[in-house]
Amino acid sequence: MTGTAPPGPRLPALLQTFAFLLAPGRYITACQRRYGDVVRFSTKFDSNFVMVFDPAIVKQVFQAPPDRLHAGKANSLLGPVLGERSVLLLDGDEHLRQRKLMLPPFHGKRLAGYAEVMREAADNAIDAWPVGREFALMPSMQLLTLEVIMRTVFGVEEGARKDELTRRIRAMLDPVSRRAGVVLLAMSGGYLGRRRIVERFERRRAEVDEMIYEEIAMRRTAPDLEERDDVFSMLVLARDEDGRPLSDGELRDELVTLLVAGHETTATGLAWTFDLLLHNPRVLAKIEEEGDDYLDAVVKESLRIRAVIPGIGRVVQKEPFSLNGYEIPVGIEINPSIAGVHRRAYPHHSEFRPERFLEPDPPDTYTWIPFGGGVRRCLGASFALMEMRTVVRRVLERTRLEPAGDPDKVERRGITMVPKRGVRVIQPQPPS
């Protein structure tokens, strides 16, 4: 097997593209069963890439030297939204510099200080829910997580300016978060052609950028900059080992990255968590009986069974990369399948069983990978987990939602796997 290419389906790239868009879970699972834990695919997104499903092989990818496998190149599709100086698109020393500058706000006391903002955002969401009438939970979670980002990351004061920035951000993200958005990005090679929908997106992005650059200018001269505790202000103050600050362009790209990475994905994770909880009374009841450890396990199991992002990418550099006995050529992307690993590595993988994370040998960094792994693990993982725990706890303290119908089905929308109906629920009338 050494030196050979991995096996894979021989269907035309167009047919494989439709399979990935219309029924990704079924198609990928069928290919994994037929061809094994390293499978070669070809689509209109990418003419030749490899997916990995086994945790031991994922470990080879995550532990590879950063100069051999580049994640930034694999994320180039996001360039039109995030910007070319986003930490997600950088590799090597540039990536390491940006990552070091961005890491401090998301750990320790800084992180704990955001909990109250998260509770207040949850309260605002709950107060806006209708009573005795069916509604979709997903849009509410999107507004909630955007509110958290606006306050903890952007630190924009309440008022008309905050409302306008929020409106512009939603307008920019809406088209690329739809199901067709990822097709548009892919078919244009990540650089967005000149169609009408693209021009509208670019206009909306420019409107967001205008306000962000205004905020950067005001923040750099703010007299209370060093007293502020939002991420934006900390990034303005941050200096690398050579004493260099982030440029305006770098600040813009990292703020948008935090916005995109910490808004839509966390909202989707929350929606899935409630969908799973409301259809599993045993788990719902046990949250009330057990403490924070069980709630943490519930959140982690939700992210396992409903992977928000289906996979992550690394592009081979310098020379062919040996992967489980196969030879992967330079320029080929290797995709550890988050959803695939979360199925393969767990017995009875379709069961919603938070207890997995409380057992003596819980899932590790190669069997539970919703935030990726290695040196590219998501910077905001701890932030997202804390936000999900805080919101779930607050909702359960204040109300009792009921499911309106069967468990939701998975649909690909943009780069995320979302509940197709938005998680339909009812907040019952309180007893008189």
User: Per-residue confidence at 3, pLDDT binned at 50, 70, 90?
Assistant: low
Q: Which residue has the higher pLDDT, 79 or 126?
A: 126
Q: pLDDT tens digits, residue range 373-431?
A: 998 999 999 999 999 999 999 999 999 999 999 999 998 887 789 999 999 999 998 77
- Pick the most confident of 15-24, 204-213, 254-263: 204-213
User: Residue 25: which pLDDT band, with cuts at 50, 70 and 90?
Assistant: confident
Residue 77 pLDDT? 79
Domain ranges in the chain are: 65-312+348-354+374-426
Q: Is the pLDDT at 136 greater than 80, yes or no?
A: yes
Over residues 40-64, the mean pLDDT reads 93
> How confident is the model over 235-254, as a mean pLDDT?
94
Q: What is the mean pLDDT of residues 48-64?
A: 95
Question: What pLDDT does residue 175 have?
Answer: 64
> Which of 12-26, 182-196, 270-284 is predicted least confidently?
182-196
The candidate with the shortest Cα–Cα distance to 301, out of 372, 360, 353, 361, is 353
**Is the pLDDT reported for residue 111 higher than 90?**
no
Least confident of 150-154, 158-162, 248-252, 269-273: 158-162
Residue 181 has a pLDDT of 53
Per-residue model confidence (pLDDT) at position 432: 62
Residue 191: the pLDDT is: 46
More confident residue, 22 or 218: 218
Tell me the C-alpha distance between 5 and 39, whole Å: 9
pLDDT mean across residues, the chain: 90
| Residues in CB range of 294: below 8 A, 6 or more apart | 286, 287, 354, 358
**pLDDT single digits (tens) 308-359:** 998 999 999 999 999 999 999 999 999 999 999 999 999 999 999 999 999 9
In this prediction the pTM is 0.92
402 vs 116: CA distance, rounded Å: 26
The CATH number corresponding to 65-312+348-354+374-426 among 2.60.40.1530, 3.30.365.10, 1.10.260.40, 1.10.630.10 equals 1.10.630.10
Position 190 scores a pLDDT of: 44
pLDDT score at 178: 61
Tokens representing 123 are 């309260």
Of all residues in the chain, the percent with pLDDT exceeding 90 is 71
- Report CA-CA distances (Å) from 237 to 96, 221, 229: 18, 11, 11
pLDDT in tens, 163-187: 999 899 888 887 666 655 555 544 4
Q: Which pLDDT value is given to residue 61?
A: 96
pLDDT at 172: 85
Band (1; pLDDT cuts 50, 70, 90): very low
